[in-house]
Structures are given as structure tokens and as C-alpha cells.
């Protein structure tokens, strides 16, 4: 039996590193998905709460890209189920208008109840963010 070549990486160590990397990547994806679930609703309400006029999906997606530094941007189609849920909850109104450049567009506007919920969600978000930031400040970089 020959001694292992010290310049060659240990196969078991490589396998562990790959498994560890996959676990870390999977954990990050899961965390981002869970974190995104509530923040997208909050961001959509905030965009519509700041809008002077009703907005359609593409406009909302572009506004999220513009203000969210790309963190909240994603597939535009993923916004529509959230918009529908917010509408079903009475937080948004919507209506359809014809478009000269394509199919009819659904426009969304925040309701009075949506504005109140937005106010409460913003307060809850800030309290949560501040609390988590306090914990994270003690961690080494």
C-alpha cells in the first residue's frame, strides 16, 4: 500500500465539502423562500400605498425592482397570486381596462383596510427587523 499523495485532496474531505455545500445552499434557499413569503406582501402593499394611481402588474414589478435594489424582484408571474390573495383579503381592489398595446390589464389599488393593515405590518416589520438586528450585531462577521 502506498502513502497518499499529500498534494492530492482527500476524497472523503471533498465529499464532505460537497455535502456541506449542498446543505448550506439548500438551507439558504429555504430561508430566502420563507423570508420572501411575507415580505413580498408587505412590499406590494407599500408600493400600492405610495402610488397615486392604480397600477398593473408589470408596473408594480418594475417599482419593486427600482426600490428594492433587485432583492424583491423575481418572476413577474409570482406577484399575481400574492395580488389575488391581497385582493381576496379586502386589502386591494382591482379592475380590468383595455390596453392599446396588448391584452386587457388588471389595475390594482390599495383599499382603506389595506392602508390600515400596511400601517400595522410596517410597525411589525420594523420591530422584528430591529430585534433581529440587535441579535445579529453581536455576531462575528
pLDDT at 40: 87
Kindly report the CATH number assigned to the domain that includes residue 69: 1.10.10.10
Do the domain assignments include residue 34? yes
What is the percentage of the chain residues whose pLDDT exceeds 90? 50
Do the domain assignments include residue 141? no
Do the domain assignments include residue 1? no
Provide the domain count of the chain. Answer: 1
Threshold 0.85, pTM exceeds = no
Do the domain assignments include residue 82? yes
Do the domain assignments include residue 137? no
Report pLDDT digits (tens) over 112-137.
Answer: 999 999 999 999 999 999 999 999 98
Tracing cell 408589470 back to the chain, one arrives at: 58
Residues in the chain: 141
User: Pairing state of beta strands 102-110 and 92-99?
Assistant: antiparallel
| Residues of the chain predicted below pLDDT 50 | none
Do the domain assignments include residue 116? yes
* Domain encompassing residue 90: 14-48+56-132
Amino acid at each position: 500500500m502506498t502513502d497518499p499523495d499529500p498534494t492530492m485532496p482527500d476524497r472523503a474531505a471533498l465529499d464532505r465539502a460537497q455535502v456541506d455545500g449542498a446543505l448550506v445552499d439548500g438551507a439558504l434557499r429555504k430561508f430566502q423562500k420563507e423570508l420572501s413569503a411575507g415580505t413580498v406582501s408587505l412590499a406590494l402593499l407599500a408600493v400600492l400605498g405610495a402610488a397615486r394611481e392604480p397600477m398593473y402588474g408589470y408596473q408594480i414589478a418594475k417599482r419593486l425592482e427600482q426600490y428594492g435594489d433587485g432583492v424583491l424582484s423575481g418572476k413577474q408571474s409570482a406577484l399575481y397570486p400574492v395580488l389575488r390573495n391581497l385582493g381576496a383579503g379586502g386589502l386591494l381592489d382591482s379592475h380590468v381596462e383595455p390596453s392599446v398595446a396588448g391584452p386587457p390589464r388588471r389595475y390594482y389599488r390599495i383599499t382603506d383596510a389595506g392602508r390600515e393593515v400596511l400601517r400595522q405590518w410596517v410597525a411589525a416589520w420594523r420591530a422584528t427587523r430591529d430585534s433581529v438586528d440587535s441579535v445579529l450585531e453581536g455576531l462575528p462577521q
